[in-house]
Amino acid sequence: MQGKLASSLRGRDFLSLRDYSPEEIYYLLDLAAELKKKLKAGEPHPLLAGKTLGMIFTKRSTRTRVSFEVGMYQLGGYPLFLSADDLQLGRGETIADTARVLSRYLDGIMIRTYSHQEVEELAAHATIPVINGLTDFLHPTQVLADLLTIREKKGKLKGLNLTYIGDGNNVAHSLMYGGARVGLNVTIACPPGYEPLPQVVEEARRLASENGSTITITDNPMEAAEGADILYTDVWTSMGQEAEAEKRRQAFRGFRIDGQLLALARPDAIVLHCLPAHRGEEITDEVMDGPQSAVFDQAENRLHAHKAILAALL
């Protein structure tokens, strides 16, 4: 079965977790855990020797850039950083033509940008795997690392309760898709007007019903936190929304993970944040630096999860 799964992933795009079966997601998690173990043991694993990954960034990044770049290096390949200023896209070359040309040079493309449509267009015209490193719509590579972290801390995924407190953004969308695929019960608590997109909620609920889990949307963060195994948050204002920052600060008051909210969750609950954090806004220092925080283990697991994606697809 593992061999069949491995061959089914080779050459695939990684645009959304909804495109991957539960078995395929678990295969990637197992591979990530294996690669993490090899790295910790100092065991070389040049699975991508001689291969090159093009990394297109139109959005700034710390974790995505460093983890993919270091991960490709550890796998024996070569990571090529391409900013918007490095490509002819900014001067009118089409995404389709860029995809066709890069496919002649590279073995894979990772892109972090604003428009999800651009990523889909790039994938449609590329003949090599395209990995979605983040768009305004989805952040699937982040959530694969989140699932890895939860499984490490809890020993399982199916049947656990994950509560996300904050904006119904790209991370929330991917948490719903990923949770639905692996049987996590996902609750999204956000202020009115900041809910996840209805079509994502509907699709995630359909997927969740196939795997015996639930997707819940609420505007009551305290009710949402009760009985949670995992509390998760993200910044209130994402990149590109800076003009709305003050309005969002007002709207999201009460949607903060602090000691009071954490006390409502299970005693052994863990806290996650995809980073960067605006300490004092969506999360307090007390929680982020506290004993229940798995935030920096989660950040580390971006490296291992991304390596699994690269090794499986390229």
- The set of catalytic residues is 112, 139, 142, 234, 274, 302
With residues binned 3-state (H G I as helix, E B as strand, rest as coil), the percentages for the chain, rounded to 5, are 50, 15, 35
Residue type, 177: Y
Q: Which two tokens stand for residue 75?
A: 């796998």
Tell me the helices (H) and strands (E) count for the chain, helix number first: 13, 9
d(CA 282, CA 256): 4
CB 210 within 8 A of CB 21: no
In this structure, the strands spanning 270-273 and 185-189 are unpaired
Q: Which two tokens stand for residue 105?
A: 């040079």
CB 8 within 8 A of CB 274: no
- Listed in sequence order, the DSSP H helices in the chain are 2-9, 22-40, 63-74, 95-105, 116-125, 140-154, 170-182, 198-210, 221-225, 245-251, 259-262, 285-288, 295-313
d(CA 248, CA 140): 24
Question: The tokens 């449509």 sit on which residue?
Answer: 117
d(CA 250, CA 45): 49
Q: List 79's β-bridge partners, or say none.
A: 53
113 SS3 class: coil
Residue type, 291: P
d(CA 307, CA 314): 10
